Chains A and B, each alone.
Chain A
Amino acid sequence: MTDDRTTLAMLSEQLADAAATAGAALVAVHARPRLPSTGVHWKDGVVVTTEATIRREDDIKVTLPDGRHIPATLAGRDRGTDLAVLRIASGSLPVATLGDPATLRPGHLVLALARLDAGGPRAAFGAVSATGGKWRCWKGGEIDSWLQSDLDIYPGFGGGPLVDATGRIHGVNSGGLSRALATTIPVATVNRVMTQLLERGYVARGWIGAAMQAVRLDPATQQRLKREGGLLLLSVEPDAPASRAELLVGDIVVAIDGKDVDGFDQLLDMLGGDVVGKKLKLEVVRAGQPVSVDVVIDQRPRGAR
């Protein structure tokens, strides 16, 4: 009985320690009416939060763990991965201790943390529900790994960290990334997007400037070219990489740089990385004949879908 009580008390203390350790690197972000969101002091002078909680780009303030309010400036935001990055004065609070999300398995105890005011950090408790590989969320961004938990993301918890039982931060919780589920944007994605947002204020994504639809080739062409399907060009925008390369409506893209393409995921993967300004070799079926076309990938215009 006594041992039972002691170990429970120890577990309780350990969870509270984890909340205190990780909570020391959290700020409340005031960038929307009424309720603040939570931000993680990811590296010195840089705070990460979720993009959807940034409703105004000027006059942003953050509340530090010691209760002080200090100004913050928006370095950049990326709707695709639901991340935003703020700059604050260097040395304002401790920097987050990051963990490796690959070490988390379903069933591991985790906390979601928030800071909403001058009080201490707030905690919600649960377990890792599922983990997995790379995925693309409905907002279009690529997330390096799937990390879902059964935590309740209370109002203001968005932008706060997922924390393990030792207080290490494994990512940023987003209430809006996959609808009803508590989903965590893992450390790798935060690092990648943060670097780009700090450098240029946005995440550059490759752009071809053509609308496409996945299609199957007709049986004769399939047999002749030893391919099953591709992406049919439905429209080509003026003054875009596709029109400059003289791609035509009706062309079917079957391969990019030697890799077969028969769906959007492959295309988005090709355009998601560091490809802006690079030349891609498109293999196209035009009027039943294979044609090779070089396209210089441009940057997706900001505000374009």
Chain B
Amino acid sequence: MTTMSAAFLSGPAERLRASVVGIANGRRGRRAAGGAAIAWSGDLFVTSAHVVTASHATIVTPDGRAVLGEVVRRDAERDIAVVRAPEAGVPAAVASDPYALRSGSLIFAVGHPFGVRDAVSVGVLQAVSPLPRGYGLNGKGSLVWVQADVRLAPGNSGGPLADAQGRVIGVAAMVVSGVALAVPAPDVERFLSGLT
């Protein structure tokens, strides 16, 4: 118990941070800033479509190397993209089902808000559902989102929302009416199908 109060989410956060990379459009150096991406499986990285709008992207690994990746799949509507970067060598994160969590469950985000690398923010899950009526999102409200009370900022896009064990439940996409929205992990898995 005492271990938990002091360490809180530092253990799961440390494990997850090893699987989160920085990402920016095109061929850039290792100071490339932009959004975040998650090492999902093998040499595939998942990020937000609005972060990678070109055919290639530069990935900056947790140990500071800049490697080139190719955008192999992109869905602007669902705001999700897949980047293949064989030279990255970053361990894959573990995904989990957000539908298994209830409102109030502890969650955390890892990203690069305002360029701060691998920053952690903590909150709770609100819902996994379409947005409530009255939260404006130009029609995208009918998509299912992981909705959370957690602070996100520019630079968190494409980074993970994770459960208390550090398992990825969604890919951070945007903030609407103050609520953090992420693409649910099962949608990401479906989006990846056929890619190896």
Contact = CB atoms under 8 A, between A and B. Distances in A.
B125 A123 contact: yes
Interface in B1-55: 1, 3-4, 7-9, 11-12
A264 interface: no
B103 A122 contact: yes
A12 B106 contact: yes
B134 A35 contact: yes
The A interface, classified by DSSP as helix, strand, loop or mixed, is mixed
Contacts of B129: 117, 119
A154 B101 contact: no
A3 B12 contact: no
A19 B7 CA distance: 24
A156 B134 contact: yes
A8 B165 contact: yes
Interface string A23-49: 100000000001110000000000000
A111 B104 contact: yes
B177 interface: yes
B123 A8 contact: no
Nearest to A121: B103
Contact of B126 (A4, A8, A17, A123): A123
A154 B178 contact: yes
Interface residues of A, number: 35
A29 B132 CA distance: 13
Contacts of B103: 16, 19-20, 23, 113, 120-123
Contacts of B4: 3-4, 7-8, 11
Contact of B124 (A9, A23, A36, A111): A111
Contacts of B164: 5, 8-9, 11-12
A117 B129 CA distance: 11
Contacts of B79: none
The 9 closest A-B pairs by CB, nearest first: A35-B134, A19-B104, A7-B4, A12-B106, A16-B102, A125-B124, A116-B132, A123-B104, A124-B149
A18 B104 CA distance: 8
B149 A152 contact: yes
Interface of A: 1, 3-5, 7-9, 11-13, 15-20, 23, 34-36, 111, 113, 116-117, 119-125, 152, 154-156
Interface string B72-105: 0000000000000000000000000000011111
Nearest to B4: A7
Contact of A119 (B127, B163, B178): B127
Given A11-B4, A12-B164, A125-B149, A34 B134 contact: yes
Contact of A122 (B7, B12, B105, B126): B126
A171 B159 CA distance: 36
Nearest to A19: B104
Given A4-B3, A9-B164, A125-B124, A15 B104 contact: yes
Contacts of A16: 101-105, 125
Interface in B110-129: 123-127, 129
B133 A117 contact: yes
B179 interface: yes
Contacts of B147: 122
B85 to A, nearest CB: 30
B149 A123 contact: yes
A290 B125 CA distance: 65
Contacts of A20: 102-104
Given A5-B11, A154-B178, A11 B149 contact: no
Contact of A123 (B12, B124, B134, B135): B124
B1 to A, nearest CB: 6
B163 to A, nearest CB: 7
A41 to B, nearest CB: 18
Given A11-B164, A17-B104, A152-B149, 16 more contacts: A4-B4, A5-B164, A7-B3, A8-B8, A8-B164, A9-B165, A12-B105, A19-B124, A35-B132, A36-B133, A119-B132, A120-B103, A123-B125, A125-B123, A154-B149, A154-B178
